[in-house]
Each structure stands twice: as structure tokens, then as C-alpha cells.
Amino acid sequence: MCNWSLLFTMFRSLNTRLLISYILVILVCLTLVGMGLFLFVRASALWNRPTHQRLEEAERETMQLLLQGEPLRELTRDQVQGFLIQAATEHRVRILLLDNRGTVRFDTDGKWIGQDLQTLRPQPQNPPLQRSQGTFTAPDGRQWLFIAQVLPGIEGQRQTLVFTSRPIRLLALAWFADNLMRPLVQAGIIALVLSILLALLIRRSVSKPLKRVASAAEAIARGESGTRAPVSGPTEVRALARSFNQMADQVEAAQQSQRDFVANVSHELKTPLTSIQGFSQALLNGTAATPGSTARAARVIHTEADRMRRMVDELLTLARFDAGQMELAHASVEIGPLLQSCVEKLAPQARAAQVTLELDAPGQLTITGDADRLAQVFTNLLDNGVAHTPAGGKVTVAAHRAGETAVEVTVTDTGEGIPADELSRIFERFYQVDKARSRDRKRAHERGRGAGLGLAISKEIVEAHGGTVAAESVVGLGSKFSVRLPVKKEGW
């Protein structure tokens, strides 16, 4: 059990996996090369040259042995067989003796005695052929290499002496084993050593940079923010390091925005709380004793408490959007009447600020959405427009169809405008353009200073309807907010 888990752990390492795959590739390659070479050897005559030489030598020496002493016809069968066994052992060949009908009379291996090997008998021709050579098919069905020699006569009979070795397939195999096996094994060993070196090299180039990414992750987990993985190694590891660094950037940005959020909320709550505390203290200890100062203290407490409530409402709305719990109605909304009611709501404020409010919306502009939430968006835009436009200025809200599938509502003012470098940030939570300016301008306003959440909420609402909101502005000339809403969001 323990050994298996050890083996499994080993196999999980990149090094072992690489090595095992290399070994498999080497084995497959060597086997394929070996098979190819074997087929080539069998098809060529490479393997039969040495065998043929051996058969020729055996033939020459046997003939010398047989013919050197007494005339052949006077040799006894036993003497001849003795010579043949001696020659066969010496030259590692097989010798057969065929009678004049082609039947095997003697076999140094003893297996084919009595078999008919007529084909090996040199054919009686004119002049009669004394010697022949080539391949023949034995009774076992296999192919053999042979040299046949006709003997004038042993014990008065004309006989054929056949020299053969082993079946061709075995000969080719033996030649292959003797001549090619060694270089193949050597090549395999060299490839193995090279593959081990290669695996080590790859390990250096892959697992080292991977380990550096892992160390960077551990460092960030320990709280060492600012740590980044070095982007090095192969493309995939570099891509991983880059993604990791991007993720680390995002995590840190998210942490920072969370910290900013808490700081902003505390700051925004602290100011009204301080006012409430101060004025309620004045009421309690009698500092605000006259009816006028009592009423003023009560008004400030009321206004500041109202501002806190609004901010908490706005935060709750944003939290619901963040949690995906904001449920929007999917009702038919007439844009014209909706804008009309928003303008009417803002009319007293505009009058007080001596700002003209204008509506330009054709009838029959209907979309699907949440009327209350959309009213919140346009009220906020109109409220901002009125708040940031000096007396004598104008705020216009206009609606028109934008293509077949969308409606665009624009809120344009002739106010102070927004500096270009701040324009991209006004939709961020708590972002306020030049806080002092906002405060002064809105202090004159009935509803008081906002917390910089209005546009962030408007953007969430518009995007939840599948739309977009954009701002253009020129300092000193005014601003234009464009809300583009699809007639019906996809999926609704």
C-alpha cells in the first residue's frame, strides 16, 4: 500500500512523468526501427552471405575428407556418416544424404530420415549437373538455404550430399541479433541518458519558474502584498505568471477599494453625526435656548439625520446589486410620462435655483423595465444638473429612439462642467468632483450634499436594464449625460 502511494507520488512529479514518457517514446522508436531493419534484412540477402560461406566451407572440407583416402565406393556407410557428423559439428551445419530417388538416408540432426526431398536432387541433365544451390521448402513448411553435391557413389550407389543450416527466418533473426541488436541497444542506452539530461533541463526550465509562482502565491497568502511572480520560463508558465500577477493586482485593488469603502462610509457618517451630536448637546445643555436657535438646531438635526438615512439607503441598494439580489420589475414603461414626473418633482428645486427645466420627449417611447428605478436614475441626473448649474442656466432632458431596439435619454445642463481628468471617475462609488465645490453648491440646495453614490447607483440600475450610461462635459459650458436603454433586455 505504502509502495503504491510512493510510486503514485513519484509519478506525479513532472520529472518522473517526463522520464517515463521519454522511455516509452524511446522504446516505441527502437521497436519500430528494429522491426523495419529486420524486414529489410530478411528481404535483402545480407544475412545469407555468411551462412552461404559457411555451407561452402563445410562442403569443401567434407568433399576433401570423403575424397582424400580410399575411393568413395569403398567407404562403408558408417565411415561416411562419421565424416559427415564430424564436418557438421565443426562447421555448425546440417548435412543430409539423399539416395538416388531423393529420399533422406542420413541426417546429422536425425529428424528427416525417410523424408522425400526429391527437389534437392540435381536434375539428370545433359551434361548431368553435379552441384546445385539455393533455397528449398522442407517437409516442415519452412524455407532453408542449401548446397547439394552429387557423389559418384557410396557403396556403389549414386547419392546426393546436402548442406544446409537453419530455417531462413531463424537465420535472418540470428543475423539480426548478432549484427544489429548491439547497436540498437547502445542507441537505446544513449537515448536514455540523453533523455534523463533533457528531463533535468526541462525540469529546470519548467518546474523552477512554476515553483517561483507558487512561492509568490504563498507570500501573498502570508500577507506580503506587492509580491509578484517573475515572468520567466516557457510560454505557458509565463502566461500563468502573468495571469497570477493580474489576479494579485485585482485582489489588491479589491482589498484597497474595500478599505477605501470603509474609510469613505465612516467619513461620510462622521460629519452628520458630529453635527447631530453638537446640536443635540446644545438643546440638552440649554445653549440653544431661544425659540429661533432651538428651531435651527432641530432643523440641522433633521437634515443631517435625513442625509444619513439617504446614504444608508443608497449603500443598501448598492449592496443588493453587489449580491445580485436586486430584483427589477419587467413592466412596460412609457418614457415620456416617466420623465415628465421626474421634471415635476425637480421643478421646485429648479425654481429656487433659478434654473430652467425643459423636457423634450415624443410620445410612444416604451421600454420594458422597472419604472421606479428608472425614475431614480433620471431624478438623480436632473438633480445633479440643477445642483451644478448657476442661476439663469438651463437643464434639458430629452428622449429619442436610438435605432430599432433602443431608446436614448439625455440630460444636458449649461452648468460648471466636469474637468476631463475627473470625468472617467464620476461613476465610482463615493467619488466627488472637487468636494469643496460640491459642498458649497449643494449646501444652497434643499436636499444637501450627497455622498458621491448617486451616479454609481444610476450606472448599476441602467446596466441591470442592459443599457449604458456615459458623460460628456466641457468645463464652464456644461455637461451631458446619455442613458441608452434597450427596448427590452435580452433574456427578459
Is residue 107 involved in binding ligand ADP (CB under 6 A)?
A: no
The end-to-end CA distance of the chain, in Å, is 57
Choice between 160 and 410, CB closer to ligand ADP: 410
Cβ neighbours for 160, distance < 8 A, ≥ 6 positions apart? 97, 98, 100, 102, 120, 121, 122, 148, 149, 150, 151
Q: How far is the CB of 477 from ligand ADP (least distance, A)?
A: 11
Window 152-171: contact mask with ligand ADP (x via CB under 6 A): --------------------
Q: Which of 115, 205, 207, 438 binds ligand ADP (CB under 6 A)?
A: 438
C-alpha cell at 438: 460640491
Alpha helices in 44-76 (DSSP H): 48-68
Return the number of other C-beta atoms located less than 10 Å from residue 224's C-beta.
10
Tell me the site size for ligand ADP, rule CB under 6 A: 21
Provide the 3-class DSSP secondary structure of residue 13. Answer: coil
Is residue 393 involved in binding ligand ADP (CB under 6 A)?
A: no
Is residue 369 involved in binding ligand ADP (CB under 6 A)?
A: no
Helix axes 291-322, 454-464, angle to 10 degrees: 30
> Angle at CA 251, nearest 5°, toward 245 and 253?
100
Window 445-464: contact mask with ligand ADP (x via CB under 6 A): -----xxxxxxx--------
Is residue 132 involved in binding ligand ADP (CB under 6 A)?
A: no
Is residue 195 involved in binding ligand ADP (CB under 6 A)?
A: no
Q: Report the residue number whose CB is nearest to ligand ADP.
A: 450
The length of the chain, given as a count of residues: 492
Is residue 121 involved in binding ligand ADP (CB under 6 A)?
A: no
Choice between 209 and 467, CB closer to ligand ADP: 467
d(CA 290, CA 278): 16
Task: Answer whether 481's CB lies under 8 Å from 417's CB.
Answer: no
Is residue 282 involved in binding ligand ADP (CB under 6 A)?
A: no
Is residue 415 involved in binding ligand ADP (CB under 6 A)?
A: yes
Distance of CA 85 to the CA centre of its chain: 72
d(CA 278, CA 255): 34
Is residue 413 involved in binding ligand ADP (CB under 6 A)?
A: yes
Is residue 479 involved in binding ligand ADP (CB under 6 A)?
A: yes
From the list 137-145, 221-229, 299-307, 426-434, the region that binds ligand ADP by CB under 6 A is: 426-434
Half-sphere exposure for 165 (CA within 13 Å, toward CB): 28
Q: How far is the CB of 400 from ligand ADP (least distance, A)?
A: 20
Binding region for ligand ADP (CB under 6 A): 380, 384-385, 388, 413, 415-416, 418, 426, 431-433, 438, 450-456, 479
